[in-house]
Amino acid sequence: MLKGIPNILSPELLKVLCEMGHSDRIVIADGNFPAESMGKNAIVIRCDGHGVPELLDAILQVFPLDTYVEKPVSLMEVMKGDNAKTPIWDTYKEIIAKHDKRGANTVGTIERFAFYEEAKKAYAIIATSEKAIYANVMLQKGVI
């Protein structure tokens, strides 16, 4: 055990977060995201039983968001014609505001299939049990 490290961050996840360099990206994926097929060239970390918000909050306690890009946080856009609601995005923005003074201004969206293409280039993908739809979030690492 370590002081000041959220218990939800496993040794494997901490190692990956530490290995990542400036501009590397990590995806925190909902339960429907095809983590294994998208992550063929990435490290896939299973966090079954956990949702995205609690992992996002824990990760942002130790993970700096990139300050050299306008939107270091990317969400998967809702598909046109899909009547899905995304209240979880408001939760993400509240969590981000706790850890980054830019708050919701750090958050952008990426079209669904473009998000998949970007996820294939991510350093790591965290597979969660999140049930909310369109709950995937991609973070770009900054410097300390």
Q: Which residues are catalytic?
A: 22, 66, 116
Contact 13, 50 (CB under 8 A): no
Task: Please state, in angstroms and rounded to a whole number, the distance separating the CA atoms of residues 49 and 26.
Answer: 19
User: Do strands 25-29 and 137-140 pair parallel, antiparallel, or not at all (unpaired)?
Assistant: antiparallel
The closest of 134, 140, 117 to 29, measured between CA atoms, is: 134
> Which residues partner with 45 through β-bridges?
126
CA–CA distance from 98 to each of 70, 76, 94 (Å)? 18, 22, 7
Q: What's the token pair of residue 89?
A: 């995005």
